[in-house]
Structures are given as C-alpha cells and as structure tokens.
Amino acid sequence: MFDRALILLACLCAADGASAAVQVSATGFLVKHAVVIGASEQRVYSALLRDIGKWWDPHHTYSGKSSNLSIDARPGGCFCERLAGGAGVAHMTVVNLQPFKLVRLTGALGPLQGSGLTGSLTWTLASAGDGTKLEMTYSVGGYMEGGFDIIAPAVDEVLGGQLKRLKAFVETAKVP
C-alpha cells in the first residue's frame, strides 16, 4: 500500500511540477518544511514521539493503519510498524534525541527502502512566541534506478502532508 500511494503521488506531482521545498541532484534530494504549531515544545515533542500512530496518515503505511506505528524514543530505537502475522517494518532508526529541541532518525522511508539509499530525517523545535516552530528536513542520498526527479517531489508532498496532520493533531486533537 505504501508503495502504490507514493508512486501515484509521484505521478501527480510530476504533472504539477516540483515543490520549491525540494532540492534534487544526481545523487539524492533534500526536502524541507517548517510550520508554527500553537503549543509548547514539550507538547510537540511528545506528539512526534509518543503519538505518531494518531497523526501519521494511514495511507502512507504498509498496514493501512497508523495505529501500528511506534517510535522507541531512545538512541538506537526503532520507528517501526507492526504487520499481521508477526511481520513488521523498521522504517527508521533514532540516532539523536535532544528533548524538546531535536529528533533525528536515519533510514529510507517507504518505497525508498528498496533502493541503495539512506536518509536523515530531522525535526528541529524552537520557541516561536506562544507556539513552536517545527522544521522538518529529510536528506536522502545514494543510488535509485531512474533517478530522483519523480520520487523527490512525491516524498516532499507526503512529508509536507504529515507535518500538516501533526499540526492539526497537536492543536485540535483531530487530523484532516
């Protein structure tokens, strides 16, 4: 399910043009988004790590259920997904936690796992008046058959959507 949805999104994004938030080269790409969330850094940090199964879009999971997602919030911890029959997916590994300031994971999300790629997903939190500025970057490098021109805008769109869902969840306890 994860692969089909991302490939469909890649085709749609290619038709509309690449997002300005994406930088693409022959060896990889960078996606960058920022949003201000009307909550404290503590609340946003907690939602990122403890509530991912409540805000992550289920269409961008292998199981179709975001409730199967979890992040073991420690260096070396897994951003994992439970699948039926005792199966599972290790999406990423936690490599840097700085409470209320930074969360960094490494790995290749979704269909990127099938290629010779690695990525670094970083969420940086900073005070912004009565809220929190959350910046998300995902830097991916390596080899992917066909290059990065089509997949990078799709990843940008998917991760931008995840950030919007996180903001809605933290501010309203609901996701679009």
Q: What is the pLDDT of residues 47-65, one digit of tens each?
A: 999 999 999 999 999 999 9
User: Which domains are assigned to the chain?
Assistant: 2-172 (3.30.530.20)
Give the DSSP per-residue string, the chain: -HHHHHHHHHHHHHHH---TTEEEETTEEEEEEEEEESS-HHHHHHHHHH-HHHHS-GGGSSSS-GGGEEE--STT-EEEEE-GGG-EEEEEEEEEEETTTEEEEES--GGGGGSEEEEEEEEEEEEETTEEEEEEEEEEEEE-TT-STTHHHHHHHHHHHHHHHHHHHHHHS---
Q: How confident is the model at residue 143 (pLDDT cuts 50, 70, 90)?
A: very high
Q: What is the pLDDT of residues 25-39, one digit of tens each?
A: 999 999 999 999 999
Its pTM stands at 0.86
